[in-house]
Amino acid sequence: MNEFVVALGWFGIYAPMAMGAVASSIGCGIAGQAGIGAMLETESSYGRYIGISAFPSTFVIYGIVIMFTLNRTVTIDNAGGLFGVGTLAGIAMLYSGIWQGKACAAAINAAKEKPEIFGLSLAPAAIIEGFAVFAFVFALVISGNISGAAV
C-alpha cells in the first residue's frame, strides 16, 4: 500500500507537465485547423492566424514550472499533497488549453470575416489564459507548504 501512495506522489509531480502538454497540443490543434481553413479563404493575415493558433502553447510551460516546483523526494507524508496539487493543476491546464483552443478558433473565424475586430476577438482567449494563470500561481504557492526538500 505504501508503494501505491508513493507512486501517486510521483504521478502528481509529472501530471501538470503531461496534462499541460496534452492541453497545448489539443488547443493548438483546434486553433490551427481554424487557421488553416481561414488561410484558404483569405488573401492576407496569415501570420495572425498562425500567431493565434500558438496561444495555447503556454500550458505546457506552466506545467513544466509546476513540475519542477513539486519535484522532491516522495514520501508517505508528502505523496498526497504532491498528487493533489499536481493532478488538479494539470486538470486546470488541460481544460484551459482545450477551451482556449476553441476560443482562438472562434477568434480566427471572426477575424476572417471582419478583420477590424481582430484584437477584441482575442479577449475570450485571454480570459481563459487568466484562469490557467490562477491555477499556476496557486499551485506554486501551495507547493511551498508540501513537506520534503526540493530535489
98-145 tens-digit pLDDT = 999 999 999 999 998 898 998 899 999 999 999 999 999 999 999 999
Q: Distance between CA atoms of 120 and 74, rounded to whole angstroms?
A: 45
Q: Distance between CA atoms of 17 and 66, rounded to whole angstroms?
A: 7
125 is written with which cell numbers?
Answer: 482567449
Q: Are 72 and 18 in contact (CB under 8 A)?
A: no
Structure confidence by residue, pLDDT tens digits, 17-50: 999 999 999 999 999 999 999 999 888 878 899 9
- pTM, full prediction: 0.91
Q: Distance between CA atoms of 28 and 60, rounded to whole angstroms?
A: 11
SS3 assignment, position 94: helix
Q: CA angle 85-91-96, nearest 5°?
A: 125
CA–centroid distance for 83 within its chain = 18
Structure confidence by residue, pLDDT tens digits, 43-101: 887 889 999 999 999 999 999 999 999 999 999 999 999 999 999 999 999 999 999 99
Domains along the sequence of the chain with CATH:
2-143 (1.20.120.610)
Residue recorded with cell 509529472: 14
5 is written with which cell numbers?
Answer: 501512495
pLDDT reported for residue 1: 79
- On the CB side of 68, how many CA atoms lie within 13 Å of its CA? 5
